[in-house]
């Protein structure tokens, strides 16, 4: 019985995070878009990964992609392509989205401080 409760709590937390992500206004992602010259979808993904203290799961990134794009195929390959595109854009700034298997995508502390510096400029 406790396993079902844990699964339900995890599902509810994921739903809350997806609601937060999908209710993010474009004005909140504009600094990310302008600082890194990113399209809307990649700016939303970058903001979500930057703002999350732990890591952003594949499901959350897929939710962002579904919300910001016209993706008909709900596949993890779509997430891989988006993260690859984001990494190509961030490479020129010396940044990289890291992946922790089974957990999600994140920035290390040095990358987060560099992003903060670039956003303040």
Question: Residue 95 has what pLDDT?
Answer: 93
The total number of structural domains in the chain stands at 1
CATH number at residue 103: 1.10.10.10
For 59-115, the pLDDT digits (tens) are 888 888 887 776 666 777 889 999 999 999 999 999 999 999 989 999 999 999 999
Both structure tokens of 118: 């670039």
Angle at which helices 109-120 and 26-36 cross, to 10°:
90
Contact 83, 99 (CB under 8 A): yes
> What is the pTM (predicted TM-score) of this model?
0.74
Q: What are phi and psi of 56, to 5 degrees?
A: -100, 125
For 6-44, the pLDDT digits (tens) are 878 877 877 777 666 555 555 566 677 777 788 888 888
Residue in 47, 45, 17 with CA at minimum distance from that of residue 31: 47
Residue in 33, 65, 66, 63 with CA at minimum distance from that of residue 47: 33
| Parent domain of 95 | 2-120
């Amino acid at each position: 019985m406790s396993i079902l409760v844990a699964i339900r709590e995890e599902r509810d937390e994921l739903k809350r995070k997806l609601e937060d992500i999908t209710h993010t206004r474009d004005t909140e992602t504009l600094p990310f878009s302008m600082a890194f010259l990113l399209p809307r979808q990649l700016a939303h993904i970058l903001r979500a990964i930057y703002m999350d203290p732990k890591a952003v799961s594949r499901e959350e990134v897929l939710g962002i992609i579904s919300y910001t794009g016209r993706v008909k195929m709900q596949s993890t390959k779509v997430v891989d392509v988006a993260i690859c595109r984001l990494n190509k854009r961030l490479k020129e700034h010396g940044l990289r989205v890291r992946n922790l298997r089974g957990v999600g995508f994140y920035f290390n502390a040095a990358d987060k401080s560099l992003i903060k510096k670039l956003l303040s400029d």
